[in-house]
Structure 1
Amino acid sequence: MTTSAEPVRLNKRMAELGICSRREADEWIAQGWVKVNGQPAEMGVKVTPADKVEVDKQAHGHQASRVTIILHKPMGYVSGQAEDGHEPAVMLVNPRTHWREDPSSNRFSPPQLRGLAPAGRLDIDSVGLLVLTQDGRVARQLIGEDSVMEKEYLVRVAYHGPDRLAPAGQLVRIDDDDPITTDVRAIFPPAMLARLRHGLSLDGQPLKPAKVDWQNPEQLRFVLTEGKKRQIRRMCEQVGLKVVGLKRIRIGRVVLGNLPAGQWRYLGAHEKF
C-alpha cells in the first residue's frame, strides 16, 4: 500500500483503501458516485492521503448485489477462458448445479454471470475449491500483488527419484516408468521434504516458505501463500516426486467442505476469507 504523500490516481487509492477494485472505481467515477473534498471526481484525477474521498450509497448498493461463488471444480475444466476444446469452469454455474444444501438466501439469476471471473487458477488436471467473483475487492484480496492468502492442497504423489534404502534396509530400485506409488513416505528422503518447505526456486525466483507435511503414506498436505503456474507439480518434480492427484481444500478461512464435485454455492454474507 502507498504510504507516501505523493499523489496517486483516485482509482488506485480507492483500491488501496479496500473500497473497491480499480475497475469498479472507474465505473463509479463515471457514474458520478465519487467525490473528492466534496466535489464530483473526474476520471484520472490524482489524490493524496490528505484528500477526503466519499462514495455515494448507490455505489455500495451496486457492490452489495455482486456475488462470489465457491465452486468444486472437477477435472477437465479450465479456470479461465476456454482453451484447446476444454470448457471454462464458469459453465458449471447454473441452477441445475447449485448445491441443494447452500445456506445462502441468494437465488441464481443470469446477471450474476456478468463479469464473473476466477480469482486465481486451478489447473485443468486439478480439482477442488475455485472462487469465481464479480467483486473486485475479493479478487484483490485473493490474487492482488500484495496478497499472502493461504491456500491448502491435498497432493497424492508417486516417487521416481534416485534408488533408496527402505526402512528394512533393502535397496529399492526406482524405475522412472514405474514409480513407487505405495508408502511413498517410507522412502522419501527427509532432506527433500525440508526442501519442499523452503529452498526451491521456480523461473529463477526463490519460492516463499511453504508448510508441507505427510497427510498419509501417499499424500502430502501443502499450504502456500503464492500461486505460480503449476507450482506444486513443478516443486515436486524437483525432489523426485510425481503428482498423481491434486485437490485444493481451503483458501484463507473458506473451506471446500462437503460441497460435491461439479456443484457450487454462494459465499455467505458473513463468510470472510
Structure 2
Amino acid sequence: MAVHQGRYPELDACRGIAIVMMIIFHFFVDLVFLGIPGPDPFAGFLRGFGLCTAILFVGIAGVSANIKISKTPDLSDQILSFFRRGVFLLLIGFGITLVTWWILNGHGFVVFGILHLIGVSLILAPFLHRLGYYGIVCAAILLLISYSGILPSGPLWMAWSGMYPTGFYSVDYTPLIPWLSVFLIGLSLGNYFYSKNSSGYLNHFHDSVWMTTFSYLGKKSLLIYLIHQPILITLLILLSGKSIV
C-alpha cells in the first residue's frame, strides 16, 4: 500500500472546529476579564465546553504525531524533528507566559498552558510512541493519580507537573498530570486509525463546504491561536467602552 504523503483533511477540520470552539470559549472568558456581564465560563456548560476544546486540541496533536512518526522510520530523525517543533511551541508558550504576566500583573498568568503542554508532548512523542497500546495504560495511571488527589502541593516552578502552591490560579493551565494522558490517547488512536498510512477517513466529505472551511482554519490554527485574543479584546473594548486597566 502506498504511503499517504499529504495532509489529512479530516484532522485539519477537527483542528479547525477546535479553533472555533476556543474562540467562542475565550469570548466568554474575555467578558469576565473586562467586567462585562455574561455567563460564568468557569462553571457549568461553558466549563465543560472549554475542557472539550482543550481535549480536542491535545488529542489531535497526539494523532498527528503518530502519523508523522509512521512516515519517519529513523528514530534520530524523529527525535530531531519533534524536538524542533516542540521547542518552537515552547518558546511561543513562554512568550505568552510573559505577556499574560505583564497584562494580569502577575496574577493568574499562563504558567503551563496548552502550547507548553503540546510542546513538551511533541518532544517526548518519539519515545511515548514506542509504548504502543500500553500508552493507554499509562494514560489511565496519569488520570488516576490526578483525580485521586494524591499529588501534593508544590512550588510554582513545579506547576508543569500538576503540583502547584495553595491558592494557585491560572487562566490557562494544562499540566502533564493529567493532560499528557490525552496526548497518549491521541497517539494510540492515531496508531489504530492510521497505522496503514491510509488515505484518510471521510473521503466523500473532503470536498464539502464545511470540510473545506474547517480544514483551512485548521491549517492556520497556530496563527489564529496567537491573534484571536488581541482581536477579541480590542473589539469588546471598542463595543463596550471598557478598559483593561
Please indicate, yes or no, whether the TM-score normalized by the shorter chain is above 0.5: no
Greater strand fraction, Structure 1 or Structure 2: 1
Higher relative contact order (CA 8 A, sep 6+): 2
Q: Under TM normalisation by the shorter chain, which class is it? A: under 0.3
